[in-house]
A and B are shown apart, each in its own frame.
Chain A
Amino acid sequence: MKYVDDFRDGTVARALGAAIRAGARPDREYRLMEFCGGHTHAISRYGIADLLPPQVRLVHGPGCPVCVLPVGRIDQAIRLALEHGVILCTYGDTLRVPASGRLSLLRAKGRGADVRMVYSPLDALQVARANPAREVVFLAIGFETTTPPTAVAVKQARAEGLGNFSLLCNHVLTPAAMHAILAAPGGVRLDGFVGPAHVSTVIGSAPYEPFARDHGKPVVIAGFEPLDVMRAIQMLIRQIDDGRAEVENEFTRAVTAEGNRKAQALVAEVFELRDAFEWRGLGTVPASALRLRPAFAGFDAEARFAVPAVPVPDHRACECAAILRGEKRPQECRIFGTACTPDNPVGSCMVSSEGACAAHYTYGRFRVEAAPTETTRT
């Protein structure tokens, strides 16, 4: 913890908050999108909004891998486990994402599906080794951060000749999603992006140049620690006030311009671009996701099992789509906190702790509900 405590220093945070309040122009609004769910989580958990002036508005973006996974893809995983009898391995917070028929992977487990939580794709490989008579499918999700470990697992499976391991690949790409948000007709007004942390350690800062150059939106790449986020906000405000639109890197301790070349090469060896992929909230986005290359087709669960992805519309009352695009705030959804809660999520934004709705419900809903009466001492 000694390496992160410096980035959680309350005294520094309060001073930084005061500097942001003093520096932000009172006559304008700053609408800043934090793309990553990790930033959303940090902002909520540390109460960062309380340190910002009212004209600085943080808009939650779609950077939560659990939130952007469409219902149809979870349905696929559930069918693999329930109908094809595979051992379905995936990350923890994927288990509760609502699917069709009031199911989720966790509920499917209760109905007899063999669903196992893993911390890494290599754990799924171990499950495959330990169960040679069973088919083991790793439900792979995530942005560029989680893709390299998946590539390692696939290569390892091939090296070991593990014939019972395959991948249901849902790896998606950050720049494509950012472009989709900016290109959406009548889309949300944004003044800048707090750029992804872990994703950028892999892809580097260079892929964000088009957003600054072509769209005129400043991007400041920030770490997930709360002081990182606050510094990035301060840097964005400075750029906006200066009339600049550049890619700046606050997270210099981990991110370089070119990123992690080795990880990029690994991903390129195992995966290729899909022509298009359905995102929850963003619809079908061209060249926004990855699939296994033909050389690794034997490890592709979609090729191996007859489980086509069937698009499923979101619940009619659910506003996750607008929230993921930054058009609405969680509390503006009609079912927020009533029909849709973390215990009984209707939409995916209420599932993961990185989801905008779950973060607001869990950490911030006291702000929109009636204020407490004054403390009275006995």
Chain B
Amino acid sequence: MRLPHSHPLDLEHGRIDLSHGAGGRAMAQLIEDLFARELGNEFLAQGDDGARLPACTGPLVMATDAHVVSPLFFPGGDIGCLSVHGTINDVAVMGAQPLYLAASFVLEEGLPLAGLARIVASMAAAARAAGVPVVTGDTKVVERGKADGVFITTTGVGVRLAGIDVSGANARPGDAVLVSGPLGDHGMAIMSVRENLAFDAPIVSDTAALHGLIADLLAAAPDVRVLRDPTRGGLAATLNEIAHQSGVGIVLDEAAIPVRPAVAAACELLGLDPLDIASEGRLIAICPAAGAERALAALRAHPLGTEAVRIGEVIADERRFVQMKTRFGGRRMVDWLAGDALPRIC
């Protein structure tokens, strides 16, 4: 039953104030007129503090991710769809089918309701497209200056697919390293807006939910050993994590690593390495070399993996180094990024 409100929520000109998080009528109105209306589903409609979910068959996987991106809107997406994609991907790279999401919002006093509405609508569209509903949530409001517009934490639950055993600890010497497409689009899209860098060719975020791509891959190549999405820290950090978890080394072929020319040029301008830059819709897969072509074919058959390529090989190396054969025929390490990616002076 609809609650009685003296004034409708002004989604065009209104702003978040502390009452929207105080547990009173204003908060109920915000939830009802915005969150529930956009994200609505049978579980949210239960209206309780949590969601009652049907029994699952199979081991559960759970992942959570806080999203604090600035700016909130960027070419190719916004914090809303990103918060859905990011957590779906974290569940999916565990070899699981994502089923449900929970979302927690920290809103800053003064946030325009129009912006929030746009974010929630984007989130709802992403969840609908992915078939993974937001079944419960929470909203808090903090004083102006104590947040950056909106922070969204999403938690995802899924069921591990039968017969699949993927883990960052599973890479073995001789395995092939595959990537589903060009790297660094998301990170450079964010940076281009944040730093007011105007490029001739706008760089668009690759944010996307990967569970469909992963399902197709695992159906064709159930022997895939490692799945990861190269988000913060990019390919370099992701592969170093895997090398450490698995106790192996990795050798990449620089000429095979896909990076769009615009991303490469932007990195060049800022003195950054594309290998350190985040993607939000790309997949790293490590599989036995014998099955690499089958896995690549499955990736390329999906719209999100048309540009999939093999970029390297797992080797035995107790030092757990990630190395790269350069285009020149030399070798260099691909190390973890030290601190934040800071532009060079010249």
Contacting residues, chain A, for B315 (C-beta < 8 A): 372, 375
Contacting residues, chain B, for A51 (C-beta < 8 A): 328-330
Contacting residues, chain A, for B114 (C-beta < 8 A): none
**CB-CB contacts of A40-72 with B at 8 A, as 1s and 0s?**
010011111111000000000000011000000
Q: Does A95 contact B (CB under 8 A)?
A: yes
- B332 touching A378, Cβ below 8 Å: no
Q: Which of B103-111, B123-131, B170-178 contacts the other chain? A: B170-178
Q: Pick from A49, A65, A106, A362: contact of B333, CB below 8 A.
A: A362
Q: Does A93 contact B (CB under 8 A)?
A: yes
Q: Does B338 contact A (CB under 8 A)?
A: yes
Shortest B189–chain A CB gap in Å is 18
Q: Does B318 contact A (CB under 8 A)?
A: yes
A92 and B331 CA atoms in complex are apart in Å by: 28
- B332 touching A47, Cβ below 8 Å: yes
Q: Pick from A66, A141, A378: contact of B173, CB below 8 A.
A: A378
Contacting residues, chain A, for B317 (C-beta < 8 A): 372-373
How many residues on the B side are at the interface (Cβ–Cβ under 8 A)? 42
Q: Does B343 contact A (CB under 8 A)?
A: yes
Shortest A252–chain B CB gap in Å is 20
Shortest A327–chain B CB gap in Å is 25
Q: Pick from A4, A226, A362: contact of B335, CB below 8 A.
A: A362
A117 and B319 CA atoms in complex are apart in Å by: 35
Q: Pick from A38, A41, A372: contact of B249, CB below 8 A.
A: A372
Binding site of B, secondary structure by majority: helix, strand, loop or mixed? loop
Q: Does A23 contact B (CB under 8 A)?
A: no
Q: Which of B21-29, B75-83, B203-211, B261-269 contacts the other chain? A: B261-269
- A141 touching B316, Cβ below 8 Å: no
Q: Pick from B249, B251, B330, B338: contact of A342, CB below 8 A.
A: B338
- B333 touching A1, Cβ below 8 Å: no
Q: Does A211 contact B (CB under 8 A)?
A: no
Closest to B324 in A: A47
Shortest A43–chain B CB gap in Å is 9
Contacting residues, chain B, for A343 (C-beta < 8 A): 338-339
Contacting residues, chain A, for B313 (C-beta < 8 A): 375
Q: Pick from A50, A94, A369, A370: contact of B329, CB below 8 A.
A: A50
Closest to B173 in A: A376
Instruction: List residues of A (362-378) whose CB comes within 8 Å of B's CBs.
Output: 362-366, 369-370, 372-378
- B339 touching A96, Cβ below 8 Å: yes
A362 and B332 CA atoms in complex are apart in Å by: 8
- B346 touching A372, Cβ below 8 Å: no
- A369 touching B319, Cβ below 8 Å: yes
Q: Pick from B255, B273, B316, B330: contact of A47, CB below 8 A.
A: B330
Shortest A174–chain B CB gap in Å is 12
A45 and B267 CA atoms in complex are apart in Å by: 14
Closest to A47 in B: B330
- B264 touching A366, Cβ below 8 Å: no
Contacting residues, chain B, for A44 (C-beta < 8 A): 332
The answer to whether A46 and B326 touch (CB under 8 A), given A4-B268, A372-B319, A373-B318, is yes
Residue of B195, B268, B316, B327 ringed by the most chain A CB atoms within 10 A: B327
Shortest B322–chain A CB gap in Å is 10
The answer to whether A374 and B327 touch (CB under 8 A), given A94-B345, A353-B271, is no
Q: Does A17 contact B (CB under 8 A)?
A: yes
Contacting residues, chain A, for B261 (C-beta < 8 A): 1
**CB-CB contacts of B250-292 with A at 8 A, as 1s and 0s?**
0100010000010011001011010000000000000011000
Closest to A199 in B: B346
Q: Does A322 contact B (CB under 8 A)?
A: no
**Which A-B residue pairs are the 10 nearest by beta carbons?**
A47-B330, A342-B338, A92-B342, A50-B330, A377-B174, A10-B327, A372-B317, A13-B328, A363-B332, A92-B343
Q: List 19 A-B contacts (CB under 8 A).
A: A14-B328, A17-B328, A41-B344, A46-B332, A51-B328, A92-B342, A142-B345, A143-B346, A352-B345, A353-B344, A354-B344, A363-B333, A366-B321, A369-B319, A373-B318, A376-B316, A377-B174, A378-B172, A378-B174
Given A17-B328, A343-B338, output 5 extra A-B contacts at Cβ < 8 Å: A10-B328, A91-B345, A145-B346, A353-B344, A361-B335
Residues of chain B at the chain A interface (Cβ within 8 Å): 172-175, 195, 249, 251, 255, 261, 264-265, 268, 270-271, 273, 288-289, 313, 315-319, 321, 323, 325-333, 335, 338-339, 342-346
Residues of chain A at the chain B interface (Cβ within 8 Å): 1, 4, 8-10, 13-14, 17, 38, 41, 44-51, 65-66, 91-96, 106, 117, 119, 141-143, 145-146, 198, 226, 341-343, 352-354, 358, 361-366, 369-370, 372-378
